[in-house]
Amino acid sequence: MRRTLLKLPLLGLPLQMGSLLAQTAYPNKPVKWVVPFAAGGSADVITRLLAERLTQALGQTVVVDNRGGNGSVLGTELVAKALPDGYTLLLSNGAAITTGPLMGQSTNYKPLTDFVHLNLIGNFTNALIVRADHPAQNTQDLLNMLRAQPGKISYGSAGMGSAGNLTGELLKLRSKTQMVHIPYKGSGPALNDLLGGQIDFMFNALIASAPHIRSGRVRALAVTGQQRDPDFPQVPTLAEAVPGVVGDAWFGLSVPAKTPPAVQQRLRTDMSAILAHPEMQAKLAELGMRPMNVDGPQFQSFLDQEIAKWGPVIRAGQLKAE
């Protein structure tokens, strides 16, 4: 929703008028969008796609700056310390803003107060997959195995605190089962061990799992989103078997706190228009993202819900940041 600036008194406010003039000139130089992940991944590809459209909307070049490291905290800290002038943006995500801090991740920023979270861009659905010759044909089969062999069935993830790890712990909590988590340094090594039979199942990004599902190398027992995926409508959601088990990775657009309100509104409005365009929604879907296009207070409400959801899971699983 657009905000209108209040009319200022004519006298005694030279600093405010100067600030207003500066805001109306925004942007008058290139804008940097920090991606706290390495180049080449899904986050990087999606940000570059959005940055191209944001460049057109702003009339200034939006440069993507990859600053991966420390579970996406490194790049996030860089933006927290940047001048709050609208020229340094952040691709925010759960690991840096919600679940990481809940796990005791050391940060030099306060995730909910050192940023203004403008737009919730979208989320990535994961798939619960097993190798093709695994005896579990569906989620209920897997649950039966977990109950028959408590603490003997293993699952892999891209690492401690990853969306896959958190979803596994949520499944364990809601289904009242026991399973062994094997963290890997990325989803690639975990997938290799899944195919090799070293682990029983894993949660992996659906977009990355899709070629293996179609080739028959792995079987998708469920997807972790709120709804079935249109590309795999035959695959049920995990929540259909265990209500409440939904675990997706999300990305958003955030800026440092104290960024001028008019600049915030400009960015929020332009990004909302970009995300609402059917062509952009189709392109994001091709990359495995479900566009959400939630902004302002609704984004903040989403973050509060994420904290309320994952806090008990993290405490129950005694998950700690590495």
Quick one: 199 and 139 in the same domain?
Answer: yes
Quick one: 143 and 236 in the same domain?
Answer: yes
CB of 100 closer than 8 Å to CB of 310? no
Quick one: 68 and 109 in the same domain?
Answer: yes
The last residue of one of the domains, among 199, 218, 241, is 241
Residue 305 belongs to a domain with what CATH number?
3.40.190.150
DSSP code, position 30: -
Please state whether 51 falls in left (phi above 0), alpha (psi between -120 and 50) or beta: alpha
Q: pLDDT tens for the chain, 322 residues: list them.
A: 333 333 333 334 333 433 443 445 899 999 999 999 888 878 899 999 999 999 999 999 999 999 988 878 999 999 999 999 999 999 999 989 999 999 998 899 999 999 999 999 999 899 999 999 999 999 999 999 999 999 999 999 888 888 899 999 999 999 999 999 999 888 889 999 999 999 999 998 898 899 999 999 999 999 999 889 988 999 999 999 999 999 888 999 999 999 999 999 999 999 999 999 999 999 998 888 989 999 889 999 999 999 999 999 999 989 888 7
- What is the maximal distance between C-alpha atoms in the chain? 78
Quick one: 197 and 235 in the same domain?
Answer: yes
Quick one: 112 and 140 in the same domain?
Answer: no
> How long a stretch of residues is the chain?
322
- Asked, for residue 21, whether it belongs to a domain, the answer is no
Quick one: 253 and 119 in the same domain?
Answer: yes
The answer to pTM > 0.85 is no
Q: Which domain holds residue 161?
A: 126-241
Q: Between vectors from CA 110 to CA 105 and to CA 113, what angle results, nearest 5°?
A: 150
CA torsion 313-158-163-79 (nearest 10°) is 110
- Asked, for residue 1, whether it belongs to a domain, the answer is no
Report the number of distinct structural domains present in the chain: 2
Residue 205 belongs to a domain with what CATH number?
3.40.190.10
Quick one: 46 and 110 in the same domain?
Answer: yes
- Asked, for residue 12, whether it belongs to a domain, the answer is no
